Amino acid sequence: MLHSKLHSHHYQSICVKDPAIESNHAHIPPIYATSTFTYEDLEAAFAFFRGESDIYTYSRFGNPSTAFLAQKIAELEVCGISEPIEARGLLFSSGMAAISSALISQLKAGDTVLRQSIIYGAASDLIDNDFKAFDIHSATHNFKDLDHLEKTIKKNPTIKVFYLETPANPTLACVDLNAICDFAQQYGIKVIIDNTFATSYVQQPLKFGVDIVVYSTTKFMNGHGTGISGAVVTRSLDDHKKIYQLLKNLGGVCSPFEAYLLNNGLKTLPLRIRQHQYNAQLLAEYLATHEKVKKVNFLGLPTHPDHLLASEQMMGTTGMLSFELKGGLEEGMKFQKKIKFCTLTASLGTADTLITHPASTSHAVVDRNERIENGITDGLVRCSVGIEHIDDVLEDFEQALTT
């Protein structure tokens, strides 16, 4: 599609600046609320439908409100990386539309997806259950033990894709991207990663050799909880073309209005992430020393098993943490019922602090034993730490933890 390319600037400048995408000199790219576009002349239309030109014809095929933003997200993905990577972006109607199209683009009947043990519940449901109808199989791995990983691959040559979520929802478990990408290349396996928790401001997976990055842009990138959207960024033109074909024909396109909201949110992403990180660190430290807290999962605490790995492959932490109270489920529920200032809701990445119970929401579809084996106990509470004044969040936690 038509891409108005921004010149390579610093990350936060790319977030803020918009290219001129129309002739009336609007400062902010307008919402192109149109299903179709008229043709210069019939020859132009024929040339487009013969695949010989690249004009806007129909909004499922492309729309200026989404095209420039997809390119902006791709530029952010490689901003500051010395290796020249021609990253390309596509916008989707949701994170799940992005994830499903990215996966389908790499798979055929008989193939297997080796997915990280614990990932977002709907993504594991799609891979383990929905794909069965297409004779696509799934297996899980923690991607920590490389010897075991090698044995798994040698035993099962149908594994064609590694699907990772690092840091993972909600334990923040991380995968060593350098090691896994080297390994995958050796065996001709494609690596797809969900980078929703980190965003490209904190982690740039293409730098490590990842092939395809997927996002629920509904979360930190939109940042205000105002819409549902997703994105895919590819390293190769070939993968971009395959995924664009699915975007067009499965039809999960991002609406111009959602794109407008996403672009508005994206402008302040670095500012917001820095405040999310700062607040999350203080809240994690508070919880870690609280007598009622059994365990805190936060990458900024040296007690997290992936603290070191995260400090090597990420540029800071995220606003996400999870914790378990000593009284398990019962105490976790009591705590949530007492919360007044923070919001109890299932999503994440908004400006305000959100609290959720993974076992009954984001991971409700996951088998209980598998959940518990991977640290998502019945009592685990997840917190997406917002950008409010941290004292108000701490005060709310303090009163909710006091019996």
Ligand X SMILES: Cc1ncc(COP(=O)(O)O)c(C=O)c1O
Residue 216 as a binder of ligand X (CB under 6 A): the answer is yes
Residue nearest to ligand X (CB): 95
- DSSP per residue over 196-256, as a string? TTT-TTT--GGGGT-SEEEEETTTTTT-SS----EEEEESSHHHHHHHHHHHHHH--BPPH
Residues numbered 191-210 forming contacts with ligand X, rule: CB under 6 A: 194, 196-197
244 counts as binding ligand X under rule CB under 6 A: no
The CA radius of gyration of the chain, in Å to the nearest whole number, is 21
Q: How far is the CB of 217 from ligand X (least distance, A)?
A: 7
Report helix, strand and coil shares of the chain as percent, to nearest 5.
Answer: 40, 15, 45
Residue placing its CB nearer to ligand X in the complex, 165 or 176 = 165
Binding mask 163-192 for ligand X (x = CB under 6 A): --x---x-----------------------
For position 96 contacting ligand X by CB under 6 A, the verdict is: yes
**Minimum distance from residue 164 beta carbon to ligand X (Å):** 11
Taking a C-beta distance cutoff of 8 angstroms, is the pair 232, 90 a contact? yes
**Residue whose entry in the numeric block shows the structure tokens 């040339």:** 47
How far apart, in Å, are the Cα atoms of 299 and each of 159, 199, 238, 384? 30, 15, 35, 13
For residue 92, which phi and psi values (nearest 5 degrees)? -125, 170
Binding-residue pattern over the window 121 to 150 for ligand X, x denoting contact by CB under 6 A: -x----------------------------
Please identify which residue in 59, 71, 94, 350 interacts with ligand X, judged by CB under 6 A.
Answer: 94
* Contact flag: residue 32 with ligand X (CB under 6 A): no
Residue 388 DSSP symbol = S
> What gap in Å lies between CA 3 and CA 181, rounded to an integer?
29
All residues at 6 or more sequence positions from 149 whose CB lies less than 8 Å from its CB, including other chains = 141, 143, 183
Residue nearer to ligand X on the CB measure, 138 or 196: 196
Query: Rounded to whole angstroms, how far apart are CA atoms 359 and 371?
Result: 8
59/100 with CB nearer ligand X: 100
Which of 34, 226 has the CB closer to ligand X?
226
What mask, x for binding ligand X by CB under 6 A, covers residues 323 to 362?
Answer: ---------------------------------------x
- Partnered with residue 164 across adjacent β-strands are 193
Q: Is 374 near ligand X (CB under 6 A)?
A: no
How many residues bind to ligand X according to rule CB under 6 A? 15
**CB of 338 vs ligand X, minimal distance in Å:** 25
Q: Considering the complex, what minimum distance in angstroms separates the CB of residue 154 from ligand X? A: 30
Give the separation between CA 308 and CA 310, rounded to whole angstroms. 5
Task: Catalog residues that contact ligand X under the rule CB under 6 A.
Answer: 94-96, 120, 122, 165, 169, 194, 196-197, 216, 218, 228, 230, 362
